[in-house]
Chains A and B, each alone.
Chain A
Amino acid sequence: MLDKNQAADIFERIKKHSTADEVEAIFYGGRNALTRFANNTIHQNVAEENISVSVRAAFGGRTARATTNKFDDESVKRVVRSAEDLAKVQHPDADLLPMPDAGRSAGPTQAVPSRHFAQTAAITPEQRAEVVGKIVAIAQKRKLTTAGIFSNSESVEGIFNSRGLADWHTQTSSEVSITMLGADSSGWQKANSPDVANLDPIALAELAARKAFHSAAPREIPAGKYTVILEPAAVLDMVGFMFYDFGGLAVLDQRSFLNQRVGMKLFGGNIDIWDDVAHPLQSGSPFDGEGIRRQRLLLVEKGVVKRLVYARATAEKMKASEYKDQVGLIEPTGHGFPVPNEMGEAPMNIVFGAPEDPKTIDQMIASTERGVLVTRLWYIREVDPYEKLLTGMTRDGTFLVEEGKVRHGVRNFRFNESLLHMLSNVEEMGMPVRASGEESFDMVVPAMKVREFNFTEVTKF
């Protein structure tokens, strides 16, 4: 796989072909493999190798990028020319900053732990099949069928620019997702980690199977407001919809629910939220799309939105804007996307603060007179951008809780719930864990017990 020295050589060739004032190259890609199973059979099984370079050219306030996955001289020359041709025809933008130099990229930060594990990178198709075989055996023992994935990858992410910035990140990833299906019920579990040793596919399969077993013959209960116990994946898939609004540019564009709300108490006093790429349960590279090192930031403290994240250019714009005295500390934080872009920046390494008195899910159930236990949410979409009203469905393990006990499975609900409302009504929380869903990026979140969660309809299963 491409290493930093090889990438540096390619960047030298990019610079040689470039006529731009400044040039930048972002390398990304790697190897990944995924074994997919359904109906107790491996039905899809894939592997891929692909690395690309995205070249950005800049001429005095004009910039554009072009990408290729070919590194021969002709391709490199072509991609440089494409980026330059796209840049040259633009009107100059006075807000476009020079590329950062190596010193600017350093920033205050802490060491990020190694996220490359040789044993994760080395997993073979036979080893994945062996694990899947064990998951299938658990399904068959329970008279269920199973579907899911077991994947592993090894990836690189690097950035070089003509002002001397050079940074490189390698990491591995492994992931297991398991659905167990009964005749009229299902259960689901998912986990991922840079280190495959942190995954326990058998335990996940057993738990998914128990959920499918116990939710059999689901009963319909009416829609309405319920106390819910949201498992971490369900919390993640909901809260993921608000973090793009924490970008400074989202506020400048007035497309954020934080317009005129930074500094306000929007959530319950038990909600603290960090962005922390170096957290031991986090993943990803320590630098952003311009090569700036990611800072550790407290975004929400005791329910109060404390600050936004900034790419370099956004910070400059915010300092010059009418909002500069309303949004807290303004500085580049290392959360920018590759330039040029419309989105600006976002915090992508979310870590919820640990509660003072963490509860297990079993304890949350035990303290609930009447409520609904939710394993997983699905097809979540934003209904109202300023109130952060979201709709979606429950899925793969939804249970009625009464008098401190899980009673039976229930038909799945549609919810229409505001995130502001939800995070103001959190009665209990678990210890934050690394969670993975399907609607949002992975993060470190707790299970939550939330009162008055708004289910508006019931589906037919």
Chain B
Amino acid sequence: MKEIGNWALDVAALRGASYADARLADDCSRALSTKNGKLGGASDSESLGIGVRVIADGAWGFAASDDLSRAAVEATAARAVEIAKASARVKQHDIRLAPEKAVTAEWTTPIQIDPFATSVEQNLELLLKIDSELRSVAGVTLAEANLNCRREEQWFVSSEGANLHQTKYTTGVGYAAYAFAGSEIQKRSYPNSYGGQWQNKGYELVHELKLVENARRVGEEAVALLKAEQCPEGVFTIILDGSQLGLQIHESVGHPIELDRVLGMEANFAGTSFLTLDKLRTLRYGSDLVNIVADARQEHGPGLGTFAFDEEGVPAQCTPIISNGLFTGYLSSRETAHTIGANRSGGTLRAEGWNRLPLIRMTNISILPGEKPLALEQLIASTDHGIYMETNRSWSIDDKRYNFQFGCEAGWEIKNGKRTRLLKNSSYSGITTDFWNSMDAICSRDEWVLWGTPHCGKGQPQQVMGTGHGAAPARFTNIKVGSAYKGN
């Protein structure tokens, strides 16, 4: 594969590129699902190709092809240079890249069980067993379960001499129960909504999640929601479970810290950011308890944003994003690092596949757990009056990432330190910095989970990326609750 990449680099140089890199990727995935006791879907997919990124005349060009013959690869490289020269017709400045040492390295996600080596028959049996448990609950009208795995093998070579070979494994599994009655549809999911839990792990993830053991409870909660009280409207103390807090981090921290958004590069589609450059090390983003990092290193955990090198050959790093409440860092690339005075990229340039230009993307954007031991039940016990919300149901935030609204599948009223009645249609909303400054407690390491968000969209053409978000349950005060149903 390195030889194929070098064909592209040679032609790019010959055509006038001042910089070039080539990524070849062999991407395999499997998706299994069941629905109401039957197969929902069963598919394997593979995709192999090359993407060539060049700078010529001070501007970017990118071309990709599924044809790995020498003639096609060389034509693809030539096309990338032609495109770069066209880009140069409308430019304000020449591209300059922060220096990065070119290295030769190999890395593979450490897994215990290759998910592709497991029995499809047994996997379908597992999903059907879950399905059966969910539908054993009277009132469950729809049961869905899914199991997904992916292996991305990638070779990266650059005109600066980088030579990298990485293989990344991802596993995702989860299920949902729906209950329809009267004029309502309610839903409960496990371990998370929208496909469950996803990590850079092998099949061992499936064994860890106690999937069958939780299915009946999940079904029962879906049905119970139909008869639950409506979540009240007003201002409350709320406690969010770790999976919901993970999505809150994704939307109200992860996206606004993307330096390409801050610099206006996503203005037409994903939007910009309220985190203008003057806010670095001056903005009080959250309370003193808020410590958030962008950490792609293996030691952070098996998140969907874990790797050894990003897609321009920069090693994985840990960047402090919010330190004791102070805003301290952006997600950056070799092209953008200089705009924040950095002499090196933060290593966050990632691509969906061989056919997409790498963009600044979240890695694992995680809130650090509290240092003092604090379990969820202790946190609830220390709360006089509030609402505990669990598992995302809807999410929305403006294009500068100020105003958000989230809905959760289930809520429970907290009274005098006790979780009491179940509440349906719970939602909360607010302004990003007000929200994070209202955090007054977070659970400790025992409650911390590295959640996966597998379907984050960004870019034109749009790319879907997996990101990781470590989080523990946390408490927020004076939060507006229930606006979603106001006036309806």
Question: Do residues A148 and B268 form an inter-chain contact, with CB atoms below 8 A?
Answer: yes
Q: Take A253-B36, A383-B427, A460-B402 as given contacts and tell me if A43 and B265 are in contact as well, using a CB distance cutoff of 8 Å.
A: yes
Q: Is A12 an interface residue (CB 8 A)?
A: no
Q: Take A41-B91, A386-B184, A438-B269 as given contacts and tell me if A459 and B40 are in contact as well, using a CB distance cutoff of 8 Å.
A: no
Question: Do residues B42 and A64 form an inter-chain contact, with CB atoms below 8 A?
Answer: yes
Bound CA span A414–B91, Å: 36
Q: Is B67 an interface residue (CB 8 A)?
A: yes
B45-53, B98-106, B322-330 - interface stretch: B45-53
Query: Contacts of B265 on A, CB cut-off 8 Å?
Result: 38-39, 43-44, 147
- CB nearest to B483 among chain A residues: A456
Question: Do residues A389 and B43 form an inter-chain contact, with CB atoms below 8 A?
Answer: no
Bound CA span A38–B270, Å: 12
Q: Take A45-B83, A341-B41 as given contacts and tell me if A34 and B460 are in contact as well, using a CB distance cutoff of 8 Å.
A: yes
Q: Take A69-B47, A129-B86 as given contacts and tell me if A45 and B62 are in contact as well, using a CB distance cutoff of 8 Å.
A: yes
A 13-59 contacts with B by CB, 8 A = 32-52, 54
A 128-178 contacts with B by CB, 8 A = 128-130, 132-133, 136, 145, 147-149, 151, 177-178
B374-382, B392-400, B436-444 - interface stretch: B392-400
Question: Do residues A46 and B64 form an inter-chain contact, with CB atoms below 8 A?
Answer: yes
**Least Cβ distance of A61 to chain B in Å?**
10
Select A126's contact among B41, B86, B425, B460, beta carbons within 8 Å. Answer: B86
Q: Number of contacts between A and B (CB, 8 Å)?
A: 288
Q: Is A360 an interface residue (CB 8 A)?
A: no
Q: Is A192 an interface residue (CB 8 A)?
A: no
Q: Take A47-B63, A459-B398 as given contacts and tell me if A42 and B90 are in contact as well, using a CB distance cutoff of 8 Å.
A: yes
Q: Take A44-B357, A90-B42, A381-B396 as given contacts and tell me if A49 and B460 are in contact as well, using a CB distance cutoff of 8 Å.
A: no
- CB nearest to A458 among chain B residues: B403
Bound CA span A130–B90, Å: 8
B 371-415 contacts with A by CB, 8 A = 393-400, 402-403, 405, 407
**Least Cβ distance of A151 to chain B in Å?**
8
**Least Cβ distance of A162 to chain B in Å?**
19
- CB nearest to A186 among chain B residues: B267
> What mask results when residues 168 to 184 of chain B are scored 1 for a CB within 8 Å of chain A, else 0?
00000000001010011
Question: Do residues A66 and B89 form an inter-chain contact, with CB atoms below 8 A?
Answer: no
Q: Is B142 an interface residue (CB 8 A)?
A: yes
> What mask results when residues 71 to 93 of chain B are scored 1 for a CB within 8 Å of chain A, else 0?
00000100110111011111111
Question: Do residues A149 and B403 form an inter-chain contact, with CB atoms below 8 A?
Answer: no
Select A132's contact among B90, B142, B266, beta carbons within 8 Å. Answer: B90
Select B180's contact among A41, A129, A178, A255, beta carbons within 8 Å. Answer: A255
Question: Do residues A48 and B63 form an inter-chain contact, with CB atoms below 8 A?
Answer: yes
Query: Contacts of B60 on A, CB cut-off 8 Å?
Result: 42-45
Question: Do residues A342 and B486 form an inter-chain contact, with CB atoms below 8 A?
Answer: no
Q: Is B185 an interface residue (CB 8 A)?
A: yes
Question: Do residues A130 and B89 form an inter-chain contact, with CB atoms below 8 A?
Answer: yes
Bound CA span A64–B39, Å: 10
> What mask results when residues 341 to 366 of chain A are scored 1 for a CB within 8 Å of chain B, else 0?
11000000000000000000000000
A81-89, A98-106, A111-119, A427-435 - interface stretch: A81-89
Q: Is A280 an interface residue (CB 8 A)?
A: no
Q: Is B488 an interface residue (CB 8 A)?
A: yes
Bound CA span A87–B488, Å: 47
Q: Is B38 an interface residue (CB 8 A)?
A: yes
Query: Contacts of A86 on B, CB cut-off 8 Å?
Result: 42-44, 120
Question: Do residues B267 and A82 form an inter-chain contact, with CB atoms below 8 A?
Answer: no
Question: Do residues B355 and A50 form an inter-chain contact, with CB atoms below 8 A?
Answer: yes
Bound CA span A325–B404, Å: 43
Select B141's contact among A186, A254, A383, beta carbons within 8 Å. Answer: A254
- CB nearest to A132 among chain B residues: B90
Question: Do residues A342 and B42 form an inter-chain contact, with CB atoms below 8 A?
Answer: no
**Least Cβ distance of B350 to chain A in Å?**
14
B 293-315 contacts with A by CB, 8 A = none
Bound CA span A319–B427, Å: 39
Question: Do residues B89 and A42 form an inter-chain contact, with CB atoms below 8 A?
Answer: yes
Question: Do residues A416 and B483 form an inter-chain contact, with CB atoms below 8 A?
Answer: yes
Bound CA span A128–B87, Å: 9
Question: Do residues A136 and B90 form an inter-chain contact, with CB atoms below 8 A?
Answer: yes
Bound CA span A461–B398, Å: 10
Q: Is A215 an interface residue (CB 8 A)?
A: no
Question: Do residues B485 and A416 form an inter-chain contact, with CB atoms below 8 A?
Answer: yes
Bound CA span A124–B83, Å: 9
A 65-102 contacts with B by CB, 8 A = 65-70, 79, 82-83, 85-87, 89-91, 93, 95
Query: Contacts of B407 on A, CB cut-off 8 Å?
Result: 383, 391
Query: Contacts of B36 on A, CB cut-off 8 Å?
Result: 253
Query: Contacts of B355 on A, CB cut-off 8 Å?
Result: 48, 50
- CB nearest to B123 among chain A residues: A89
- CB nearest to A70 among chain B residues: B48
Select B44's contact among A49, A67, A69, A186, beta carbons within 8 Å. Answer: A67
Question: Which residue of B64, B395, B484 has the most chain A CB atoms within 10 A of its CB atom?
Answer: B484
Q: A255-B185, A340-B39 are in contact. List 20 more A-B contacts (CB 8 A).
A: A38-B265, A44-B357, A44-B460, A45-B61, A45-B62, A45-B84, A50-B65, A51-B66, A67-B44, A86-B44, A136-B90, A147-B268, A340-B40, A342-B41, A379-B396, A392-B396, A454-B487, A459-B402, A460-B400, A461-B398
Write 20 A-B pairs (CB below 8 A) sorted by A numbering. A42-B87, A43-B87, A46-B357, A50-B65, A63-B42, A65-B42, A69-B46, A86-B120, A95-B38, A129-B89, A255-B142, A341-B40, A342-B40, A389-B484, A391-B396, A416-B485, A417-B488, A456-B484, A457-B483, A459-B431
Residues of B within 8 A of A (CB): 33, 35-36, 38-49, 59-67, 76, 79-80, 82-84, 86-93, 119-121, 124, 141-142, 144, 178, 180, 183-185, 263-269, 271, 274, 355-357, 393-400, 402-403, 405, 407, 425, 427, 429, 431, 460-461, 483-488
The 4 closest A-B pairs by CB, nearest first: A125-B86, A459-B403, A64-B42, A89-B121
